[in-house]
Amino acid sequence: MTTVRSVLLASAASLVVASLAAPTVARAEDQLLTGTITSASGEKLGGVTVSAKQEGSTISTHVYTDESGNYYFPPLPAGKYQVWAQALSFEPAKTAVDLSGTKHQNLALSPITDQERLVRQMPSQMLADALPEDTEADAKIKKLFENQCTGCHSPGYPLQFKFDQAGWNKVINLMKVVQNTGVMPANPKPNAIIEREQKELAAYLARARRKLDEVQAAAAADRRSRPCRLAALRSPAQPGYRHFRHKRGQVQSQRRLRLDAWNAFEDRPVAARRRHGA
């Protein structure tokens, strides 16, 4: 029995060593796709997501640009592709690529100018995090919103919409009887906490959205007068940055993009912003 086990273990070990020693070779028909992503003003953007999808396929491949705005896909099967790039506060850029040979495809991203579309592009939690909390009263209402107004939808969902105080009151009149289910009960009873704080909550949400719009307008004017801020915080240079870069590096790059996009809308002290950043 011991002899048989030794032979089996030796055979398995030899197979593992052979598989590790064999290099991964791209198929002869595979092609390379690279390029550079810039802003409309020509500034190279790091940390942008670039995607490629072959016609007729259900699979998309995603990579990130490096600190110089360059992207590198792994070898892809030859064919026709849709290639697009996207980043917070920018319109997506899309093009068709015939990958019959090595291809270098550049794309330029234009800033989103419509404020409502800009807000709706923001990640849900980022919108919720941006709610004001500088005063004790604001911090109290923000906590109430987080605890009582996110049971049947993401926290950022209601913040995508712009209402005045009267409009928020109408929304709250419905939400306070839904009781975190999203369905109106047969005998609705209002949430006592929301009903008690309804006036303050409606005023707070209306004021928060007005403030967000004011900061957006200032950020848009600033963006038109100088290169876009989105690339100001880039991931640190790392040799050999390619599509297979360490996952943590990719996450850091994306978090830096999100942080800078948030800073375009937030006017909190830098120390407060860092608590939520990379």
Whole-number pLDDT of residue 19: 45
Residue 120 scores a pLDDT above 50: yes
- The domain limits of the chain are 26-111+238-278, 114-226
Residue 250 scores a pLDDT above 50: no
Q: How confident is the model at residue 71 (pLDDT cuts 50, 70, 90)?
A: very high
Most confident of 123-137, 190-204, 251-265: 190-204
Q: Which CATH number fits domain 26-111+238-278: 2.20.25.90, 2.40.30.10, 2.60.40.10, 3.50.50.60?
A: 2.60.40.10
Choice among 57-61, 81-85, 199-203, 226-230 with the minimum mean pLDDT: 226-230
Residue-wise pLDDT tens digits, 16-49: 444 444 444 556 578 999 999 999 999 999 999 9
Residue 90 scores a pLDDT above 60: yes
Residue-wise pLDDT tens digits, 201-232: 999 999 988 776 666 666 655 554 444 433 33
Whole-number pLDDT of residue 21: 45
Whole-number pLDDT of residue 229: 38
State the average pLDDT over residues 76-104: 95
State the average pLDDT over residues 98-121: 90
Residue of 179 and 146 predicted with greater confidence: 146
Rg (CA), the chain: 25
